[in-house]
Amino acid sequence: MSKHVLGIIGGSGLYDIEGLTGAEWVTVESPWGEPSDDLLVGEISGTKVVFLPRHGRGHAVSPSDINYHANIDALKRLGVTDIFSLSACGSLKEELPPGTFVIVDQFIDRTFARKKSFFGKGLVAHVPLSHPVSSWLGDIAEDGLKAQKVPYARGGSYLVMEGPQFSTLAESELYRSWGCSVIGMTNMPEAKLAREAEIRYATVAMVTDFDCWHPDHDSVDVQMVIKTLLDNADKAKALVKFLADNINNRDSEPNCGTDTILDMAIMTAPEKRDPALVAKMDAIAGRVLKG
């Protein structure tokens, strides 16, 4: 069995990947509710791959309505150790035109209508998030984009807005003044929950538009996003195959601590823990709660 189990969260069209064998859609029951969709489980070059359509097949789930908790819990239950998130985003920088792929290394979370932790009353925990993505996974993604000769940028901050509406011009200019690189609606609380689940996480943002700030480009609309997404689809699928081909052939990752992040995070004394919440956390935190 492969050491790393690769989870892919992305658009519904990405599961049609060359070399994916033994593919089967699997229904995963989660105590956190229903995931966005069934999960596609298969294998590429000996690596187990689990694909989750973030918005469900047919894009039926709005960013604010995604059950991020159930999605991460379902991936954890299927043994996923590493998540690559592929996301359509708007660019906030002139040097990142549509068609560019950005290997994100930071997030600014401006969402406000989403529960952001598995933990809560009766089981309190605080995980560090200063470096929210795995640079080791980013290295693999960068090699894959180089191999395809895809225009890309390494590093950049992803501003996560609530949506589902696109930005106002004032908002777009504000985020540009903060130095953000891209803007999207889906990577929070996804990245935070992956950290709490002790799963390494990386994001490749696929730029589809210039949001609404660029004076020489029309404001973003759905048709613009879909056109660029279709143009990027083959590149994204090739990147997924490269990740699966290579993730288990790399030198071991330097100790980033993600897979043991809960060792020093849980604050609530055992006798004060809520048994019902502890039971829901069997997949996410069972490693540290069983004792």
Q: Which of 209, 251, 274, 282 is catalytic?
A: 209
Strand pairing partners for 5? Answer: none
How many whole angstroms separate alpha carbon 103 and alpha carbon 153? 6
| 211 marked among binding-site residues | yes
| 185 marked among binding-site residues | yes
Assess whether 282 carries a catalytic annotation: no
Q: Which residue has the tokens 């700030």?
A: 213
| 186 marked among binding-site residues | yes
How many whole angstroms separate alpha carbon 200 and alpha carbon 190? 12
User: Residue 224 has which token pair?
Assistant: 């613009």
Helices (H), 149-221: 169-177, 190-196
Q: Which residue has the tokens 């040097």?
A: 95
Assess whether 209 carries a catalytic annotation: yes
What SS3 state is found at 209? strand
Strand pairing partners for 22? Answer: none
One-letter amino acid for residue 208 of the chain: T
Q: Which of 73, 82, 105, 211 is catalytic?
A: 211
| 153 marked among binding-site residues | no
Question: What is the DSSP code (8-state) at residue 272?
Answer: G
| 88 marked among binding-site residues | yes
Q: List Cβ neighbours of 119 (8 Å cut-off, separation of 6 or more).
A: 125, 196, 266, 277
| 242 marked among binding-site residues | no
What SS3 state is found at 143? helix
Q: Tell which residue, 8, 2, 3, 1, has the closest CA to residue 50.
A: 8
The binding site comprises: 12, 54-55, 87-88, 185-186, 209-211
Catalytic residues: 209, 211
The binding site for substrate comprises: 185, 209-211
The binding site for phosphate comprises: 12, 54-55, 87-88, 186
